[in-house]
């Protein structure tokens, strides 16, 4: 397991967490390179189906992050998102999907350091959990050859 | 088939120090649909942009991915460059190789691999990008200003002076607001009315301003540039055209014992009244709650004495509908009354008054003609105590914020008292003295040093009456919390400035957000202090937070500039990154089933119901429709829609799906 | 029963409704939906414990609506479904009259949907004790055990969509499972396609499910897929204060409270 590098997909809103991650960069704070960020206008736009797709595609962990309550650029997108997360997370748990692999967080545009912490802690906790074999088994995808071109 | 160009920027060495840019470009060049791929030292420089433009022209690119810094930094730059080369700007995406990659990871293969992933994801996304055109909405060049205090007056005049029409509504019978109640103003001690009333008259006479006093907003619909407002003009029981403002009715009215709002209850007014002599308009209204005719059915004296026959007892409220393009909210604030304070006697003692009541006592036009006399017996108080932070900065009272204006007006009050009552003793209990502002600190120093006001740092725990004196018990924290007891003749509480009653309802009517204290929320605390989150609605003055006069006026002028800027165009251009409900050919029309659950999910009330009709006009189907003027593009509805009938341009289902599917596809 | 037949006949006679939807005897001792358009056809109406199908599923169907105003024989879950449908703008008084049957099997008449709503609100949505037991049992398992349980249960599913067809709340004209640009849910009936379909179905019913079990009753493989929606019902109650279908109130999942549960967010 020592050479296991977790694959983490982050679904973030444009106004807070994406900007926060920009600040991590401008502050030159180093963090694990395992994360790939997907930018959304708002956490309210993040479709739970996309989280499932990330697992389908081989993600070992997922981060969903947006503006703190009351900070939403669109006033209430994050509040709507939070309600959906409550239900989605609980359903996943009920189905036996390992919800330790889905991290929800609020990271503001000023919290560059927090973003680095969240990525690092997610990477290390997923590293401990190991690859998401259970899910991988149902995907049953033949190992893809790199077909770029 | 897409023809995508990938442009990898070194950003000097900012990216290339840790990312192998040549490898990124080389790998990207092999992707399906990528026909051109290159790395370059500074993509945002002129030669860099030219590189992109030439590639678009020469290779006939249909999409562009610039792998450089954060799109929050340079997306507009590169989109503009694409547009200049004839490619729709929304066919350009940016991969964030700097902030999200090179700056945060060490040099090495994993970092380059990540950069490659980030580029691939956006190549896949851009394949599904669509040409979008900026949205144009017409602008009605009339502004609605709500609230006729100094902020509303200033905003109205500033907008009107740019040549645009203004409708100013004020809920009271006269404009002027709290400023008209003030005696003198800090830090110059010039008379408030002397500087305000010319402005009020200017409003009344300005050809571009329509003034509705005794009027309130009934409802509002529409969006930036295109609002429709209903204004309730409360009945004044008066034909304003006939009334000459002679004032005979107000002298003859038999109901003379009504506490005057203008004098904060320290003076009386009649049932038919003009709130103060300089009121604009200077015409009376009948206060129906206190008028004998309305309460008992008899009297009508005013009608008998009116020389022009202007009284209209049967006049009803009138609803005026107006179309406006922008709104300035300047509804101001109010203050807590003395009954809010159990420790200071629940407002039962007449000689414990608010700061605003003191203003009326000190005002030459006030109930005592400017002499400081106590309300209970009219005696001149020989010892007076001022309490700052009465309610403010007090978590326990639910008002943790600083009311901001009190430190200054208390210094002014104490100064005015010292000027008017020679030999009198004045004390100010304070927590801190907050005198930030031009000439403000000097003003406070003057009160202390020149006028001999005694400043005591500490809070007052209790005030009670004993032998005709008000015993003020406090502590001096600068003397080790030594107990202080003052026998005062009068106490002035600088009570907290709070949002108006009904501010919440008004905010909901306008769909603007408000803070936990019901002050209206600005769009950004620093960079958008006069905007609200609702496009086209602006804030001025103390409705946003407690503000003093210069700040209110600056905000009002700021809001006016925003309105004027909006009105300088015939059409508004907006980013087309908004939600759209799909439309399909008959007989489906749309995959939307019309459950309209999205309507309540939308933070902007931007989703409407559309009826699809056949030729005879019969409704075939009801489906959702997004109003492009109101939609701000959050996409909350998109993730909510079960049939995926709503999509958001720039972040469509296909775009996001392909992004996610491409993220990890080396696996 | 006679009372029900009489009332249904009268309504058709008076043209107050154009079609009565109720239950009649079907094959194999089961009941099936009856669409009575003539007063004499109402003699075929039956009502007993076999009548578990949620007839509200028909009121959104174009073929039925085109007949004119519907008279619907409705048990409590059916009435709940009707109110939920009304809140989602799918039915209204002009198109639907409810002939209620109380949990005590008594017929009850309603003037309009508002009265139906008032009746519905007299009962809380309660999860059957047997099912609660099953939920508790699953709850006690480790996530891996639950995962194995569900994979085992869902593997046989061949996506016949009987659950969707039986559900009164699945009235969309185009279901997202049929969406292919992009293909959100894989078409094949392998574990992945199955689990994603059932997650999607459950999420779409969050805050809307009326707990009628029609999905489970319709499933030819008796997959306990209603446990998913029941779990969401419990979650709605536990975390979001629960819900009752109501015509005017906002929907559980399209609204929020600023102080919704936050403890899982870092």
Per-residue three-class SS string for B135-174: EEEECCCEEEEECCCHHHHHHHHHHHHCCCEEEEEECCCC
Q: Count how many residues are written for chain B.
A: 667
What are the φ/ψ torsions at residue B170 (nearest 5 degrees)?
Answer: -135, 135
For residues B88, B91, B96, B97, the Cα torsion angle rounded to the nearest 10 degrees is -100
Residue C223 to chain B, least CA–CA distance (Å): 23
Residues of chain A contacting B72 with CB distance shorter than 8 Å: 14, 18-19, 22
**Could you identify the residue written with the tokens 């249904």?**
C8
DSSP state, residue B392 = T
Residues of chain B contacting A32 with CB distance shorter than 8 Å: 105
Return left, alpha or beta for A19; rule: phi > 0 is left, psi -120 to 50 is alpha, else beta.
Answer: alpha
- Domain limits of chain C? 2-120, 129-239
Q: Which domain holds residue B87?
A: 4-134
**Is residue B225 domain-shared with residue B203, that is, in the same domain?**
yes
Residue B642 to residue C204, Cβ atoms within 8 A:
yes
pLDDT at position A146: 41
Question: What is the rounded CA–CA span in Å between residue B311 and residue B471?
Answer: 50
Point out the domain boundary residue: B106, B134, B162: B134
Q: How many domains does chain B have?
A: 4
Burial A62-91 (b: 16+ CB within 10 A, else e): bbbbbbebeebbbbbbbbbbbbbbbbbbbb
Residues of chain C contacting B640 with CB distance shorter than 8 Å: 253-254
**Is residue B353 domain-shared with residue B268, that is, in the same domain?**
no
59-98 of C, contacting B, C-beta below 8 A:
88-90
Question: What is the rounded CA–CA span in Å between residue C10 and residue B593?
Answer: 33
Residues of chain B with pLDDT under 70: 665-667
- Asked if residue B504 is part of any domain, the answer here is no
Interchain CB contacts (distance < 8 Å): A and B: 150
- Asked if residue B527 is part of any domain, the answer here is no
DSSP state, residue A43 = G
DSSP state, residue C27 = S
Residue B598 to residue C254, Cβ atoms within 8 A:
yes
List the structure tokens of B115: 């950069």
Point out the domain boundary residue: B134, B161, B192: B134
Decide if A65 contacts A112 (C-beta within 8 A). no
- Asked if residue B282 is part of any domain, the answer here is yes
Residue B634 to residue A9, Cβ atoms within 8 A:
no
Residues of chain B contacting A45 with CB distance shorter than 8 Å: 634-636, 638-639, 648, 651
pLDDT tens for each residue of B255-282: 999 999 999 999 999 999 999 999 999 9
Q: Closest CB to C89: pick one of B622, B653, B657.
A: B622
pLDDT tens for each residue of C65-96: 999 999 999 999 999 999 999 999 999 999 99
Point out the domain boundary residue: B465, B498, B531: B498
CATH number where B188 lies: 3.50.50
- Residues 6 or more apart whose CB falls under 8 angstroms from that of B239 comprise B309, B310, B311, B312, B315
**Is residue B149 domain-shared with residue B184, that is, in the same domain?**
yes
Q: Which domain holds residue A92?
A: 8-140
ipTM value, please give it: 0.92
pLDDT at position A109: 87
- Asked if residue A131 is part of any domain, the answer here is yes
**Is residue B122 domain-shared with residue B175, that is, in the same domain?**
no
What are the φ/ψ torsions at residue B491 (nearest 5 degrees)?
Answer: -130, 135
Interchain CB contacts (distance < 8 Å): B and C: 50
Question: What is the rounded CA–CA span in Å between residue B343 and residue B291?
Answer: 36
- Asked if residue B472 is part of any domain, the answer here is yes
Neighbours of chain B (3+ CB pairs under 8 A): A, C
pLDDT at position B137: 85
Residues of chain C contacting A140 with CB distance shorter than 8 Å: 190-192
Q: Enter the pTM of the model.
A: 0.75
Ranges assigned E (strand) in chain C:
19-25, 31-36, 70-74, 96-101, 107-109
Residue A47 to residue B665, Cβ atoms within 8 A:
no
Residue C184 to residue A56, Cβ atoms within 8 A:
no
Residue B583 to chain A, least CA–CA distance (Å): 21
**Is residue B620 domain-shared with residue B644, that is, in the same domain?**
yes
List beta partners, residue B471.
B464, B487
Per-chain mean pLDDT for chain B: 94
Residues of chain A contacting C239 with CB distance shorter than 8 Å: 86-87, 90
Question: What is the rounded CA–CA span in Å between residue B83 and residue B88?
Answer: 5
Question: What is the rounded CA–CA span in Å between residue B134 and residue B577?
Answer: 9
Residues of chain C contacting A83 with CB distance shorter than 8 Å: 240, 253, 255-256, 260
**Is residue B288 domain-shared with residue B367, that is, in the same domain?**
no
pLDDT at position A144: 45
**Is residue B618 domain-shared with residue B493, that is, in the same domain?**
no
Decide if B122 contacts B304 (C-beta within 8 A). no
Q: Closest CB to A45: pick one of B533, B651, B667.
A: B651
Q: How many CB atoms are located within 10 Å of the residue C159 CB?
A: 16
Give me the tens of pLDDT residue by residue for chain A, a chain 149 residues long. 457 899 999 999 998 999 999 999 999 999 999 999 999 999 999 999 999 999 998 999 999 999 988 778 887 899 999 999 999 999 999 999 999 999 999 998 889 999 999 999 999 999 999 999 999 988 875 544 444 43
Q: Closest CB to C254: pick one of B593, B601, B644.
A: B601
DSSP, collapsed to helix, strand or coil, labels residue B455 as strand
Return left, alpha or beta for B328; rule: phi > 0 is left, psi -120 to 50 is alpha, else beta.
Answer: beta
Considering only alpha carbons, which residue of chain C is nearest residue B516? C258
pLDDT tens for each residue of B562-574: 999 999 999 988 8
List the structure tokens of B402: 């600083």
Return left, alpha or beta for B404; rule: phi > 0 is left, psi -120 to 50 is alpha, else beta.
Answer: left
Residue B600 to residue C253, Cβ atoms within 8 A:
no
Distance of CA B98 to the CA centre of its chain: 36
| Best CA proximity match to B311, nearest among B380, B249, B361 | B249
pLDDT at position A2: 56
Residue C219 to chain B, least CA–CA distance (Å): 22
Q: Closest CB to A22: pick one of B27, B70, B640.
A: B70
Decide if B261 contacts B177 (C-beta within 8 A). no
Q: How far is CA B80 from CA B49, B74, B87, B498, in A?
A: 10, 10, 9, 46
**Is residue B299 domain-shared with residue B177, that is, in the same domain?**
yes
Residues of chain C contacting B599 with CB distance shorter than 8 Å: 254
Q: How many domains does chain A have?
A: 1
- Asked if residue B507 is part of any domain, the answer here is no
Decide if A43 contacts A64 (C-beta within 8 A). yes
CATH number where A65 lies: 3.40.50
Residues of chain C with pLDDT under 70: none
**Is residue B26 domain-shared with residue B77, that is, in the same domain?**
yes
Residue C250 to residue B596, Cβ atoms within 8 A:
no
Question: What is the rounded CA–CA span in Å between residue B383 and residue B486?
Answer: 9
pLDDT at position A141: 56
Q: Closest CB to A83: pick one of C141, C195, C260.
A: C260
Question: What is the rounded CA–CA span in Å between residue B412 and residue B410?
Answer: 5
Residue A77 to chain B, least CA–CA distance (Å): 6
- Asked if residue B533 is part of any domain, the answer here is no
DSSP, collapsed to helix, strand or coil, labels residue B338 as helix
Decide if B445 contacts B415 (C-beta within 8 A). no
List beta partners, residue B354.
B493
Question: What's B603-627 look like in SS3?
Answer: CCCCEEEEEEECCCCCEEEEEEEEC
Question: What is the rounded CA–CA span in Å between residue C217 and residue C214?
Answer: 5
* C176 Cβ under 8 Å from any chain B Cβ: yes
**Could you identify the residue written with the tokens 């980030």?**
B118
Question: What is the rounded CA–CA span in Å between residue C39 and residue C210?
Answer: 31
Q: How many CB atoms are located within 10 Å of the residue C126 CB?
A: 9
- Asked if residue A72 is part of any domain, the answer here is yes
């Amino acid at each position: 397991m020592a050479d296991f590098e977790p694959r983490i997909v982050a679904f973030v809103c444009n106004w807070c967490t994406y900007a926060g991650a920009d600040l991590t960069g401008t502050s030159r704070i180093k963090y694990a390179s395992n994360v790939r960020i997907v930018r959304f206008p708002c956490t309210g736009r993040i479709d739970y189906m996309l989280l499932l797709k990330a697992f389908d595609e081989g993600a070992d962990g997922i981060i969903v992050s947006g503006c703190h309550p009351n900070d939403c650029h669109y006033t209430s997108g994050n509040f709507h998102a939070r309600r959906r997360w409550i239900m989605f997370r609980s359903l996943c748990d009920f189905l036996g999907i390992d919800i330790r692999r889905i991290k929800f967080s609020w990271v503001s545009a000023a919290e560059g350091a927090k973003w680095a912490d969240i990525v690092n802690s997610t990477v290390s906790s997923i590293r401990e959990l190991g690859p998401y074999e259970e899910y991988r088994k149902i995907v049953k995808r033949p190992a893809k050859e790199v077909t770029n071109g | 088939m897409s023809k995508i160009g990938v442009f990898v920027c070194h950003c000097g060495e900012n990216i290339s120090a840790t990312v192998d840019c040549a490898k990124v470009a080389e790998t990207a060049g092999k992707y399906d649909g990528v026909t051109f791929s290159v790395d370059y030292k500074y993509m945002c420089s002129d030669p860099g942009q030219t590189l992109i433009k030439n590639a678009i022209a020469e290779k006939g690119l249909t999409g562009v991915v610039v792998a450089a810094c954060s799109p929050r930094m340079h997306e507009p730059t590169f989109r503009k460059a694409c547009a200049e080369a004839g490619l729709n700007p929304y066919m350009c995406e940016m991969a964030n190789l700097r902030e999200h990659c090179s700056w945060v990871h060490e040099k090495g293969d994993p970092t380059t691999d990540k950069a490659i992933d980030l580029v691939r994801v956006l190549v896949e996304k851009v394949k599904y990008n669509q040409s979008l055109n900026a949205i144009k909405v017409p602008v009605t060049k009339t502004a609605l200003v709500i609230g006729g205090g100094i902020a509303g007056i200033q905003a109205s005049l500033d907008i009107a002076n740019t040549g645009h029409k203004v409708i100013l509504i004020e809920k009271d019978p006269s404009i002027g607001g709290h400023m008209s109640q003030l005696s003198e103003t800090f830090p110059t001690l010039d008379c408030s009315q002397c500087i305000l009333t010319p402005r009020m008259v200017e409003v009344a006479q300005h050809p571009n301003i329509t003034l509705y006093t005794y009027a309130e907003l009934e409802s509002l619909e529409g969006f930036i540039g295109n609002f429709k407002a209903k204004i309730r003009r409360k009945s004044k029981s008066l034909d304003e055209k006939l009334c000459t403002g002679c004032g005979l009715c107000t002298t003859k009215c038999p109901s003379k014992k009504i506490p005057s709002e203008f004098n904060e209850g320290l003076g009386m007014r009649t049932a038919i009244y003009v709130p103060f002599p300089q009121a604009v308009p200077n015409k009376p209204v009948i206060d129906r709650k206190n008028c004998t005719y309305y309460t008992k059915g008899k009297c009508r004296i005013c009608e008998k004495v009116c020389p022009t026959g202007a009284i209209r007892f049967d006049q009803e409220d009138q609803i005026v509908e107006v179309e406006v393009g922008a709104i300035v909210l300047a509804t101001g604030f109010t203050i807590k009354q003395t009954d809010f304070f159990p420790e200071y006697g629940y407002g039962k003692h007449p000689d414990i008054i608010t700061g605003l009541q003191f203003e009326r006592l000190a005002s030459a036009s006030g109930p005592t003609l400017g002499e400081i006399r106590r309300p209970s017996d009219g005696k001149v108080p020989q010892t007076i105590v001022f309490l700052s932070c009465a309610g403010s900065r007090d978590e326990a009272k639910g008002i943790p914020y600083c009311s901001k204006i009190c430190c200054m007006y208390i210094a002014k009050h104490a100064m005015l008292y010292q000027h008017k009552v020679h030999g009198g003793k004045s004390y100010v209990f304070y927590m801190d003295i907050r005198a930030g502002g031009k000439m403000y600190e000097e003003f406070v120093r003057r009160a202390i040093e020149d006028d001999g006001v005694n400043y005591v740092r500490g809070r007052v725990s209790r005030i009670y009456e004993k032998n005709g004196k008000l015993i003020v018990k406090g502590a001096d924290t600068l003397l080790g919390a030594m107990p202080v007891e003052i026998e005062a003749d009068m106490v002035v509480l600088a009570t907290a400035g709070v949002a108006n009653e009904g501010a919440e309802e008004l905010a909901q009517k306008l769909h603007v957000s408000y803070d936990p204290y019901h002050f209206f929320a600005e769009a950004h605390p620093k960079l958008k202090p006069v905007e609200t989150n609702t496009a086209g609605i602006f804030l001025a003055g103390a409705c946003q937070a407690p503000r003093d006069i210069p700040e209110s006026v600056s905000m009002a002028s700021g809001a006016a500039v925003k309105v004027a800027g909006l009105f300088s165009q015939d059409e508004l251009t907006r980013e087309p990154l908004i939600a759209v409900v799909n439309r399909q050919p008959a007989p489906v029309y749309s995959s939307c089933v019309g459950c309209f659950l999205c309507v309540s999910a939308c933070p902007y009330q931007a989703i409407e119901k559309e009826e699809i009709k056949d030729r005879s006009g019969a409704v075939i189907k009801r489906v959702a429709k997004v109003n492009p003027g109101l939609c701000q593009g959050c996409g909350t509805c998109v993730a909510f829609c079960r049939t995926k009938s709503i999509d958001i341009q720039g972040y469509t289902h296909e775009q996001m799906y392909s992004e996610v599917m491409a993220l990890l596809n080396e696996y | 029963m006679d009372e029900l037949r009489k009332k249904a006949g009268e309504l058709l006679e008076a043209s107050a409704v154009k079609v009565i939807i109720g239950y009649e005897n079907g094959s194999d001792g089961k009941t099936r939906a009856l669409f009575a358009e003539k007063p004499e056809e109402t003699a075929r109406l039956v009502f007993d414990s076999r009548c578990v199908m949620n007839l509200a599923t028909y009121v959104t169907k174009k073929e039925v609506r085109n007949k004119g105003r519907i008279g619907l024989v409705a048990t409590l879950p059916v009435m709940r479904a009707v109110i939920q449908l009304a809140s989602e703008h799918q039915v209204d008084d002009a198109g639907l009259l409810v002939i209620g049957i109380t949990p005590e099997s008594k017929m009850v008449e309603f003037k309009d949907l508002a009265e139906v709503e008032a009746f519905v609100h007299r009962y809380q949505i309660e999860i059957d004790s047997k099912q609660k037991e099953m939920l508790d049992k699953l709850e006690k398992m480790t996530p891996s055990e639950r995962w194995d349980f569900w994979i085992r249960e869902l593997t046989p599913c061949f996506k016949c969509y009987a659950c969707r067809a039986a559900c009164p709340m699945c009235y969309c004209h185009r279901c997202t499972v049929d969406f292919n640009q992009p293909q959100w849910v894989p078409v094949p009936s392998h574990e992945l396609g199955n689990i994603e379909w059932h997650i999607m179905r459950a999420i779409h019913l969050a805050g809307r499910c009326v707990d009628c079990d029609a999905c489970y009753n319709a499933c030819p493989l008796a997959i306990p897929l209603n446990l998913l929606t029941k779990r969401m019902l419990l979650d709605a109650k536990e975390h979001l204060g629960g819900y009752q279908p109501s015509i005017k109130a906002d929907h559980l999942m399209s609204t929020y409270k600023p102080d919704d549960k936050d403890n899982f967010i870092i």
